[in-house]
Structure 1
Amino acid sequence: MAVVTKQSPEGGNDVSPTPPPLPGPTTNCRRKGLFVMNNGSVTKGESTAMRNMWDNLFDGGFRADVTITTDNGGIIYAHAAVLGMASPVLRGLLKQAKGSGRKRSISIPGVQHDAVRVFIRFLYSSCYEQEEMKELVLPLLVMSHAYVVPRLKQICEQQLEDGLLTLENAVDVFQLSLLCDAPRLALISHRMILRNFKAVSATEGWNAMKKSHPLLEKEILESMIYEENIGKEKIRESNEQKIYLQLYEAMEALIHICRDGCRTIGPCDKDFKEDQKPCTYAACKGIELLVRHFAGCKLRVPGGCIHCKRMWQLLELHARLCADPSLCRVPLCLNFKEKIKKQGKKDEIKWKMLVKKILSIKRIGGEPFFVSLNSISS
């Protein structure tokens, strides 16, 4: 094809035409039923026209050859070609359906008429109204699964996840998600039930489930107890971790005070400057006060003073963590090392477990003054 150019005022053909705009991004089928055109783009007017055409075909029933009967005598007219292409299950029903001439009749029982109408309409134009989805999402989920319409099933699941899942329908959604093979939706609804058990157990859906599926109620209650136990176990482990971390910091502060010196307590050969920087050890202040009390306490026996008893325990814990007592400057470290050798097996196991947990919190910063985790394990 020859390229058409715009003539210049002088009569020449040296001015190129304005290039056409680049095609927009490809538009996939969304909830409003947009259809992809050949060039990958679609305009709002075109999509609306195509939607209206399919809606008119369904609403008008032009040359409809299928009659769908619903509960309470409801009738919906449709086209076998559309139903057969949209759902393999409906295609099978149409092959078995009886009728006069080309007219056939099928039945969709157990679902309210409005839900069936919205379902059939979706098979035509892939469209739905948000208000209808909000009201009929559960029966639409069931029909999309039963008649194998994966697109509608995906939309129903997404709508429930995005806000249509509530405390009132959580139990119903959980049961239907199990029946309709929707594991993600089952997990989300199950979590909602466990998080809001008191409110959910007072709903009509819960009372209905107790009568119709008592085993399912039992499973939910068992999972509720399991979740509570898991929560308590996590709280207990968290509290233990905090205690081990405090002991770890206490050991670091004790080494720091006795080896490097801090504020008014430390090695006797250290001179402290007035402009000394603030201590960076979190437990230094508490250990410092404990050491000062221990040095001046007149009782100073493990059972006579609670503060001294704690200091004795910290000194023994340090001795078990210390790798080289001959170079250690912590008081009584070597004495406790000798005492540990004479200790009973039961006490030895308890102390080893404590030391192992403290070392596993994080690596001791005072290495090589502390033993390694491998030596404790062995």
Structure 2
Amino acid sequence: MVTGCVDLHQSLKSADSSSVPIPPPLPSKPNGHHRRHGNDVAPGLKNSSVSTATRDMWDRLFNDAYKADVVIYTDNGNIIYAHSNIIGSASTVIKGMLKQAERHGKWHTISIRGVPHDAVRVFIRFLYSSCYEKEEVNQFIMHLLLLSHAYVVPQLKRLCEWHLEHGLLNTENVIDVFQLALLCDFPRLGLISHRMIMKHFKELYATEAWVAMKKSHPFLEKEIRESMIIEENTRKERIRKRNEERIYSQLYEAMEALVHICRDGCKTIGPHDKDFKPNHATCHYEACKGLESLIRHFAACKFRVPGGCVQCKRMWQLLELHSRVCADSDQCRVPLCRNLKGKMEKQSKKDEVRWKLLVKNVLGSKKIGGSPFFLPVTCC
């Protein structure tokens, strides 16, 4: 049963009707025949509009070898009979072979070796009617891929690529497909197989196919290794940037929470002139809880000097960061904001550059909008 067919036949148009628009085709009924073939044919390789009887005639012509004039020798002494005008028209390479082939009476003789006899038979049958059995494509996909390139049959080439993309490419054949794709000009297939190798690198590295590739095409094996190094470095860099962005975002939220606590108060902590109610509204700043305990420690710690203790040092850093992002120190209610801003000029150039970069990243973590109490991002 034919499970796929490429349409090589187009309807003829008469010269006197060329100016008349062609009406769209009527919608076809979803009968069983179309459903059976629809999912087995690659996009761009249309289901044939030729009748089943016509396709059967082409198959019969090939199978019965009626008035054949070509003998094709395959491995193990097997023979396939074909018609020179058909296979020569389907492949320019075979056409050239036929011109140079030895002739014995009416018979041209050519050889297609290096692939199984049955794969050559599937290939020659495709040249007749562009029809194929899905089971045969599944079985001989690698050989057909090679034959389609060697004998320049673009329809078969696209067919093999499509079937590999849609289910036939797996960890057992991906290394062979990768080599064929690069050596036989299948760029899209090469990219897809390369991605699969990268994804299953640890599994494929120990296979015989990998060892064979390393011996026959060492430059490909080297390319994959280098790609793995680049991929790993890229992955680590993405993780690093993601972690940095998260830290900068948390610092921005901490700056907002600090202004909120010192200006409005939160729960049981805030400015001295703020009256706190028992049923205080729930705070929407997640950083408030951590800042509340840090501020209480800072207020009660006996070593409340920079470097005195780890928690106090952290509080000093938050206060200095706030003073650098604050838009108006004169109106700000965060403690020491104006004093710390005034001490910026006394810092070393190296420290100043480091602080400016931190401020830029913290303010830049707020992608949309920003607090009215902080400097705009463009200032840095």
Give the count of matched residue pairs.
Answer: 347
1:252 touches 1:366 (CA, 8 Å); kept in 2?
no
- CA deviation after TM superposition for structure 1 residue 129, in Å: 2.3
Aligned to 2:88: 84
Q: Which has the higher contact order (CA 8 A, sep 6+)?
A: 2
2:101 touches 2:108 (CA, 8 Å); kept in 1?
yes
SS in 1 for 2:324: helix
Aligned to 2:296: 292
SS in 1 for 2:66: coil
Map of 1:102-121 to 2, 5 A cutoff?
102-121=106-125
- CA deviation after TM superposition for structure 1 residue 137, in Å: 0.7
Task: Specify the code of the residue in structure 1 equivalent to 2:280.
Answer: Q
Task: Specify the code of the residue in structure 1 equivalent to 2:375.
Answer: V
SS in 1 for 2:72: strand
- CA deviation after TM superposition for structure 1 residue 268, in Å: 2.7
How many Å separate the matches in 1 of 2:301 and 2:29? 81
Q: CA RMSD in A?
A: 2.3
- CA deviation after TM superposition for structure 1 residue 322, in Å: 0.8
Task: Specify the code of the residue in structure 1 equivalent to 2:271.
Answer: P
How many Å separate the matches in 1 of 2:107 and 2:137? 31
2:71 touches 2:82 (CA, 8 Å); kept in 1?
yes
2:256 touches 2:371 (CA, 8 Å); kept in 1?
no
1:300 touches 1:308 (CA, 8 Å); kept in 2?
yes
How many Å separate the matches in 1 of 2:253 and 2:359? 13
Does residue 1:139 correspond to 2:152, yes or no?
no
- CA deviation after TM superposition for structure 1 residue 365, in Å: 5.6
Aligned to 1:35: 48
Instruction: Render the CA deviation track for 1:98-133: whole Å, top value 9, x for unaligned.
Output: 313432122212222111111111112322223322
Query: Which shows bigger deviation, 205-214 or 267-276?
Result: 267-276
**Structure 1 alignment gaps of length 5 or more:** 1-20, 38-45
Kindly tell me: are residues 333 and 25 of structure 1, through their superposed partners in 2, closer, same or farther at Cα, counting changes over 3 Å? farther
1:170 touches 1:200 (CA, 8 Å); kept in 2?
no
* Partner of residue 355 from structure 1, selected from 353, 359, 362: 359
TM-score, normalising length: structure 1: 0.86
Task: Specify the code of the residue in structure 1 equivalent to 2:48.
Answer: F
Task: Specify the code of the residue in structure 1 equivalent to 2:283.
Answer: C
Instruction: Render the CA deviation track for 1:211-270: whole Å, top value 9, x for unaligned.
Output: 111222122111111111111111111111111111111111111111222211222333
Aligned to 2:284: 280
Instruction: Render the CA deviation track for 1:35-85: whole Å, top value 9, x for unaligned.
Output: 225xxxxxxxx43x3332222211111111111111221211111222122
2:198 touches 2:228 (CA, 8 Å); kept in 1?
yes
Aligned to 2:4: none
Task: Specify the code of the residue in structure 1 equivalent to 2:244.
Answer: E
Instruction: Render the CA deviation track for 1:189-214: whole Å, top value 9, x for unaligned.
Output: 11111121121111121111111112
Map of 1:37-186 to 2, 5 A cutoff?
46-47=51-52, 49-186=53-190
Aligned to 2:314: 310
Task: Specify the code of the residue in structure 1 equivalent to 2:157.
Answer: K
Query: Which shows bigger deviation, 364-373 or 168-177?
Result: 364-373
Instruction: Render the CA deviation track for 1:174-203: whole Å, top value 9, x for unaligned.
Output: 000001211111111111111211211111
- CA deviation after TM superposition for structure 1 residue 350, in Å: 0.8
Instruction: Render the CA deviation track for 1:252-307: whole Å, top value 9, x for unaligned.
Output: 11111112222112223333334333111121211122112212222212222211
Task: Specify the code of the residue in structure 2 equivalent to 1:190.
Answer: H
Aligned to 1:340: 344
Task: Specify the code of the residue in structure 1 equivalent to 2:320.
Answer: E
How many Å separate the matches in 1 of 2:26 and 2:81? 43
Does residue 1:368 correspond to 2:375, yes or no?
no
How many Å separate the matches in 2 of 1:119 and 1:203? 30
2:69 touches 2:84 (CA, 8 Å); kept in 1?
yes
SS in 2 for 1:326: coil
How many Å separate the matches in 1 of 2:47 and 2:167? 23
How many Å separate the matches in 1 of 2:370 and 2:223? 51
Kindly tell me: are residues 366 and 181 of structure 1, through their superposed partners in 2, closer, same or farther at Cα, counting changes over 3 Å? closer
2:73 touches 2:109 (CA, 8 Å); kept in 1?
yes
* Partner of residue 208 from structure 2, selected from 178, 200, 204: 204
Query: Which shows bigger deviation, 319-328 or 363-372?
Result: 363-372
Kindly tell me: are residues 347 and 180 of structure 1, through their superposed partners in 2, closer, same or farther at Cα, counting changes over 3 Å? same
- CA deviation after TM superposition for structure 1 residue 363, in Å: 4.6
1:248 touches 1:364 (CA, 8 Å); kept in 2?
no
Aligned to 2:13: none
**Structure 2 alignment gaps of length 5 or more:** 1-24
1:252 touches 1:365 (CA, 8 Å); kept in 2?
no
Aligned to 2:236: 232
How many Å separate the matches in 2 of 1:365 and 1:373? 10
SS in 2 for 1:99: strand
